[in-house]
Amino acid sequence: MGKKNLSQRIENRTVLLNLQMAKYNHLEIESKWQTIWETQKLYQVDLKAAKRPYYNLMMFPYPSAEGLHVGNVFAFTGSDIHARFMKLHGYDVFEPIGFDAFGIHSENFAIKVGKHPNELINNNVINFKENQLKKLGIMYDWSHEVNTTDPSYYKWTQWIFIQLFNAGLAYQKEGYVNWCPSCKTVLANEQTEGGNCERCGREVIQKNLKQWFFKITDYVERLYNNLKIIDWSNIIKKTQENWIGKSAGVEIIFTTVDDKTKIRVFTTRPETIFGATYLVLAPEHPAVDMVTTSENKSLIKKYRDDTIKKMSLNERT
Ligand SMILES: [Zn+2]
């Protein structure tokens, strides 16, 4: 092939490429189809009339001022692919969306910028919805959008709480919790990384707080058994099992020599009890006060303060 011929072909190909690129205007094409989907109410589902209802629930984002992050988009896209797959298989797929907008983060942010949380949340929701979520082209049924800060929504979370309270499943108790001094919030163990807050990186401290608990221990058996019948990966099932924390064993009551203090100990190995030579109490254990002799009081107090208030989870472990 001659030199001229080759350069002519390269030129032709460049022209062709330029033409193809000019042809695909994603902003125009996507907004055209998204408008058609919306006007045809393509993704709205009448659940009462649906013959093959399929509920495809993804978690609702927390509408932060920064907007959606790429991790949200990654997770939502995967979920939407599954929803579209089920739709093409003839299911009446309901894919709801909403905003989980309550919480200490909204409150802290509002304090930081000096604005009412309600005003901030509304602006953030508009940004999430109009500028981000709708442009992703996910088949959400926006006619069922929920916002957890809407009184018509949270009256039901309050109603559920009252039912739990009346059934004795919600109760208050004082206890030491993981506390992030910068987010000013309680953290679950899963929200800490190496003794630091997962969100801001600040060292987590232990704080004694009176707070609400849900008595999920009543459901340990059911939670545990139901894991066997759901289609989840083994890694996730194992995490759930550890979180449920079911452990079979016995409680043994030890009594101090003066017979005044009783200490309950849980063990999975009661048959080894005859080898037990000592008990270790956590610094926050109420029995520490009972067994401390007067000459050791100040020393123990210092140890407790140092451990409970100053040490991170990691250092204690
Ligand atoms: Zn934090």
Q: How far is the CA of 251 from the centre of ligand 1 (A)?
A: 36
Question: Is residue 173 included in any domain, yes or no?
Answer: no
Question: Is residue 221 included in any domain, yes or no?
Answer: no
Question: Is residue 137 included in any domain, yes or no?
Answer: yes
Residues linked to residue 210 through DSSP beta bridges, in sequence order = 174
Over residues 257-281, mean pLDDT: 90
Q: How far is the CA of 95 from the centre of ligand 1 (A)?
A: 32
Question: Is residue 31 included in any domain, yes or no?
Answer: no
Q: How far is the CA of 192 from the centre of ligand 1 (A)?
A: 9
Q: Which domain holds residue 87?
A: 41-154
Q: CA 138 to CA 135: how far, in whole Å?
A: 8
Q: What letter would DSSP give residue 203?
A: B
What is the per-residue pLDDT across 54-109, written as a single tens digit (0 to 9) for each?
Answer: 999 998 998 888 888 899 999 999 999 999 999 999 999 999 999 998 877 777 77
Question: Is residue 75 included in any domain, yes or no?
Answer: yes
Question: Is residue 122 included in any domain, yes or no?
Answer: yes
Q: How many domains does the chain have?
A: 1
Q: What is the pLDDT of residue 312?
A: 63
Question: Is residue 63 included in any domain, yes or no?
Answer: yes
Helix (H) or strand (E) holding 210: strand 205-214
What is the per-residue pLDDT across 110-159, written as a single tens digit (0 to 9) for each?
Answer: 888 899 988 888 899 999 998 899 999 999 999 999 999 999 999 999 99
Q: How far is the CA of 293 from the centre of ligand 1 (A)?
A: 38
Rounded to a whole number, what is the distance in angstroms from the first to the last CA of the chain?
74
CATH of the domain at 127: 3.40.50.620
Question: Is residue 210 included in any domain, yes or no?
Answer: no
